[in-house]
Amino acid sequence: MRRERLAAARLYFVLDLAARTEAIVGAALAGGADVVQLREKSTADGEIVAAGRRLAALCHGRGALFVLNDRPDLAVECEADGVHVGQEDMAVVDARAVVGADRLIGLSTHSREQLEGATGVDYVSVGPVWATPTKEGRPAVGLELVSFAAENARAPFFAIGGIDEGNVSDVVAAGASRIAVVRAIRDAADPESVARVLRSAVPS
């Protein structure tokens, strides 16, 4: 079921913990977000698990997937559908040993070599397409890597990095059929309407 939902997913929303986290997630889901990831690096484990359980319940109530960033152990504890790891985080094979066969594993990729080497994962993210403060110091990969992924990725991929209402059509034209966003929804005055615009811009 999780992999079937992933195959159908088009809009992936990433956010950290803040005062309005659950309200924003609810709005994003109402607007069509299919996957929500909690990316929280500076909060105590217990708080992450408690928040993760609330967000997982919220997502599951809307038929969406919930993913935790970086921590396979906490992903299991908060009943997430999967974990997302970066190139410098726990190896995919080790993450799989923790989360088991049924949960999803996503991996960040930033180059052709990383994309081609992504094995044992259920999906990858490709980016940052454009420079973004949420990935400070990470150079933009541009639309070229999106096009390369469209031709060569062996797992479903989500283009990420600086994508918003003004440029999502460029990402789709480059070959992306799935996108992931942070600020476009998180910082929007009306996150539900922005999510709806972004979701409708991506072909089903």
Annotation marks residue 53 as catalytic: no
Annotation marks residue 41 as catalytic: no
Which residue in 96, 103, 135, 186 is the catalytic one? 135
Give the Cα separation of 74 and 194 in Å (integer).
Answer: 30
Annotation marks residue 42 as catalytic: no
Do the beta carbons of residue 164 and residue 184 sit within 8 Å? yes
Give the Cα separation of 84 and 97 in Å (integer).
Answer: 14
| Amino acid at the residue 12 | Y
Phi–psi pair at 95, nearest 5 degrees: -60, -40
Which residue in 103, 108, 186, 196 is the catalytic one? 108
Respond yes or no on whether the N-terminal peptide bond of residue 128 is cis (omega within 30° of 0). yes
* DSSP one-letter string for 35-47: EEEE--SSS-HHH
Which residue in 3, 5, 39, 183 is the catalytic one? 39
- List, by residue number, the catalytic residues: 39, 108, 135
